[in-house]
Amino acid sequence: MTKKLTVALAGNPNVGKTALFNNLTGARQHVANWPGVTVEKKEGTVRWQDYDITVVDLPGTYSLSPYSLEEIIARNFIIDEKPDVVINVIDASNLERNLFLSAQIIDLGAKMVFALNMVDTAANRGIQIDQKRLAELWGVPVVPTVANRNQGTKELLDAVVRLAEARDPVARHIHIDYGPDVEAVLARIEKVLAAAFDPADEHYPRWLATKLLELDPDAIRRLEQSPQRQAVMAQVEEGRRQLEKTWGEDAAVLVAERRYGFLGGTVREVQKEELEKRIVLSEQVDKILTHQLFGFPIFLFFMWLLFQMTFTLGELPMNWIEAGVTGLKGGVRTVLPEGWVRDLISDGIIGGVGSVLVFLPQISLLFLGISFLDDTGYMARVAFIMDRIMHALGLHGKSFIPMLMGFGCNVPAIMATRGLNSQRDRILTMLLIPLMSCSARLPVYILFAGVFFPRRAGQVIFGLYLLGILIAVLLGLVFNRFLLRGQEEPFVMELPPYRLPALRGVLVHMWDKVTVYLKRMGTVILVASMVIWFLGAFPKNPELADLFAQEREQLEASFVEKAKALQGREDFAALCRNLELEKAAALAELSHRQQATEMRQTFIGRLGAVLEPMLRPLGFDWRMSVSLLSGFVAKEIVISTLGVLYEVGEVTEGAATSLQEALQGSGLKPAAALAFMVFVLLYTPCLATIVTLWRESGALKWMLFAVGYQLMLAWLTAWVVLRIGLLLGLG
Amino acid sequence: MASKKLSDLRPGEAGIVARVTGTGPFRQRLLEMGLTRGVRVEMEKTAPLGDPTEYVVKGYHISLRKGEADLILLSPVPGEEFS
């Protein structure tokens, strides 16, 4: 019979924890969210000896303080879920700071093993660690690993099993010594606490006492139910006063100092280090990449490269998917009998999902590039050089990359906000990302700017991008001031040494993101595109269809007549050919008119008509209103809807000339065209973005807020643009 | 000068942490990252736009905004003096 074990993986950021997780679990892993929050929870399984081991990857943290979501999650998992073993991943070249977290895990009383990672890099830097001594001192088995070369994984699993079976020779529980005065205070608090807790939780009172002494809000909350609450807090206050009087320092500072004191002692005892401490190559590289003058140009070049790669390499598979979707639609249309079921499957389901699936190659490549750059350590430098600008908006430098990704596609950009440390930063960044003009909006600009501002199209389009950024800055300031006032996150950020990323880690990371994207598409977006399809296809009007069928018959009959009249003439063959062309054109015109008429009386068409008075002040006609309405799903649809409504048939990106002519002849004012582009820039980007915003923010209210502010913003700005345009003589 | 703020250091200059002022999460975070009394910190460089600044502490690199570096008071490295 197999036995079950739960193992938690804890450690600082940038220590190779993810690589180790991948080594341990291989492909048997899945990503979900921690309950109630949008922090990623990775879980995987491995069979080892007689055990089915579930490995839970805790968020990477420097500490277990209650000030960040990640740290609370990691801490609560260890306290409440009581994993059988905690694997603490430690960067061997940064022992002291890494042990700070370890000391806190020890205080929690968890069974622990150290995965002393990157021992090779440490050795190259001249750092030798006496692993045996470290294990003895801390009562924790130590396993050396090199995670990005999959070394030490088996030994680590052996150690986990030994620990779980309580037959590890070195494992024992130690107390981190905080010095006699602090220890005396802790003992007094523990004594009062002991009455309130199950004696089986033997280490818990000590941890709680330490945390209470630090006035940890989460620890105080844990005490809330206890009848001893008052007595305990009195003892805590007394202890704090006493320590403060003796040392002139807050107890929290003393505890941190004493803990580091213990760590410093450990490091002095177990670590031999040659004088050359620094990573010379990494520092040289960094001098160039964050250079006062070259830092920004180099960064812009990398980003240009990333977007080029994403869009040029992504184009080919995109075309395949497009062809596949079209083929599948065609197949369905030939196999199934005519009717609404066929239309639902081909246009609603396949078309809807296809329109999202088509972005998969670009999204994958974008994530590939971003996770590659992230793993090299460069992304921390981007945050470093951009922080000054982002700070002005009340954001962390790390928010810059998600915003930038928004210019490619808002969906992965919003997903990338997971890398940010505070929920507040996440929400604020998510709210601003849709203002970054994504690639799907560009065809609309190209069409309208090309028709109405042929000589200044480039400037107009550039201006639109700029307008989006400008509004993001302004709104950032407003939201920061009035909406999300909460405390700003400390910036404090580690700048890890540059590394060559392991291919596997990068691929796994990309795959994680892609599966999240696909899952979302398979659920919410599928349903939503079916609903939108329904609104665009119903109600059907059979009379209308009959009417057009009659008209078509008449038309065909009239051409037969015309042909008859020509019979007997010398150039009969040539005339007939002309007549055929004429007939084809007339039939096309008829079917375009039919499409337009039918669309007008569907739900979307009617809704567009209802909305039209609201959009009329912006200078838009009913066709534009309907196209904006269907553009709610995705911006690509704006153009194809306009094509249908201007009776030139469905328009594909490449062959928009007939639509251009139609727009030219429509009498639309250039100022209104400009307002239309501004509206497209600012209103809700697409269904997928809205859904992603909902999921990633974890609250429906943020999604509703985003939709609301975007619609209002779009209307107001478009109106202002129209007015200014008219004043400037663009009428 | 007898003491300096961390934010006063120039590139290549070092000091010993004498006191971490401030409150709440900011101070807690600084302490956790190893900026405790008696620790040597060296200023590495400032970002192109003048903020934040990169420091070396306990052999690793950390970046702090000026407002955060202001919270840390330094004394000179023994045997040296602040310029």
> Which residues on neighbouring strands pair with residue A115, listed in sequence order?
A89, A143
Does B12 reach chain A within 8 Å, measured CB to CB?
no
- Strands ordered across the beta sheet of A3-11: A29-33, A40-48, A51-57, A3-11, A85-91, A112-117, A142-145
Kindly determine whether residue A391 and residue B34, on different chains, have CB atoms separated by under 8 Å: no
pLDDT given at position A106: 92
Residues in chain B with CB shorter than 8 Å from the CB of A252 are 27-28, 31
Query: Does B61 contact chain A (CB < 8 Å)?
Result: yes
Nearest to A495 among B24, B59, B61 (CB): B61
Residue B51 in contact with partner chain A when CB distance is under 8 A: yes
What pLDDT, in 10s, does the model give residues A228-266? 788 889 999 999 999 999 988 889 889 999 999 999 999
A568 token code pair: 């007997």
Q: Taking CB atoms and an 8 Å cutoff, what residues of chain A touch B59?
A: 93-94, 96, 277-278
Contact A390, A360 (CB under 8 A): no
* CA pair distance B74, B66, nearest whole angstrom: 15
A566 touches chain B (CB under 8 A): no
User: What is the predicted pLDDT for the residue at A552?
Assistant: 87
**Nearest-by-Cβ selection for A260 from B36, B48, B68:** B36
Cis peptide leading into residue A83 (ω within 30°)? no
Q: Please, which residues have CB within 8 angstroms of residue B55's CB and are 6 or more apart in sequence?
A: B6, B9, B41, B42, B43, B44, B61, B62, B63, B64, B69
pLDDT of residue A576: 82
Q: Phi-psi bin for A649: left (phi > 0), alpha (psi -120 to 50), beta?
A: left
Nearest C-alpha neighbor of A69 from the set A98, A34, A104, A101 = A34
Please provide the average confidence, as pLDDT, over all residues in chain B: 90
Kindly list the residues from chain A whose CB atom is less than 8 angstroms away from the CB atom of residue B45: 287, 290
Task: Please check whether residue B55 lies inside any domain of the structure.
Answer: yes
Residues of chain B with confidence (pLDDT) below 70: 1-2
Assess if residue B48 is contained within a domain: yes
Residue A596, CA distances (Å) to A171, A343, A351, A443, A593 in order: 77, 17, 20, 22, 5
Q: Which one-letter DSSP state was computed for residue A500?
A: P
Contacts of B50 in chain A (CB under 8 A): 388
SS3 state of residue A464? helix
Contact A496 B61 (CB under 8 A): yes
The minimal CB distance from B32 to the residues A63, A93, A493 is found for A63
Token duo for residue A447: 């069409």
- Flag whether residue A716 sits within 8 Å of chain B, measured between CB atoms: no
Residue B33 lies in a domain: yes
- The answer to whether residue B28 is domain-embedded is yes
User: Which of A63, A287, A490 lies nearest to residue B68, judging by beta carbons?
Assistant: A490
Domain contains B11: yes
Helix, strand counts (H, E) of chain B: 2, 6
Q: Whole domain around residue B23: which residue ranges?
A: 4-75
pLDDT recorded at residue A603: 87
Report how many Cβ contacts below 8 Å link chain A to chain B. Answer: 113
Give me the helix-helix angle, A603-615 and A622-630, nearest 10°: 120
Tally of structural domains, chain B: 1
Cα–Cα distance measured from residue A281 to residue A162, given in angstroms and rounded to the nearest whole number: 40
Nearest beta carbon to residue B28 from set A67, A94, A493: A67
CB contact under 8 Å between A388 and B52, yes or no, is yes
* Tokens 């030490």 sit on residue: A152
Q: How far apart are the first and last CA of chain B?
A: 7
Apex CA A34: angle with CA A30 and CA A36, to 5°? 140
Q: Does residue B80 lie within any of the structural domains?
A: no
**Cα separation values, A180 from A138, A186, A351, A386, B38, Å:** 19, 10, 71, 46, 20
Closest by alpha carbon to A692, among A416, A503, A471?
A: A416
Q: Which helix (H) or strand (E) holds A137?
A: helix A131-138
Does the CB of B22 have a partner CB in chain A at under 8 Å?
A: no
Is B83 part of any domain?
no
Question: Which amino acid, residue B43?
Answer: M
Q: Domain containing B53 — which CATH number?
A: 2.30.30.90
The predicted structure's pLDDT at residue A21 = 93
| pLDDT in the model for residue A621 | 83
Q: Where are the alpha helices (DSSP H) in A290-377?
A: 295-308, 314-335, 340-343, 351-357, 360-376
Decide: A118 and A250 in contact? Cβ < 8 Å: no
Question: Which residues in chain A land under pLDDT 70?
Answer: 1, 36, 38, 196-203, 274-279, 486-488, 521-522, 525, 647-657
Strand stretches in A559-652, DSSP E = none
For residue A505, count CB atoms less than 10 angstroms from its CB and return exposed for 0-12, middle for 13-18, buried for 19 or more: buried
B63 to A293: CB separation less than 8 angstroms, yes or no: no
pLDDT at A296: 92
Are A252 and B26 inside 8 Å of each other by CB?
Answer: no
Could you tell me if residue B46 is inside a domain?
yes
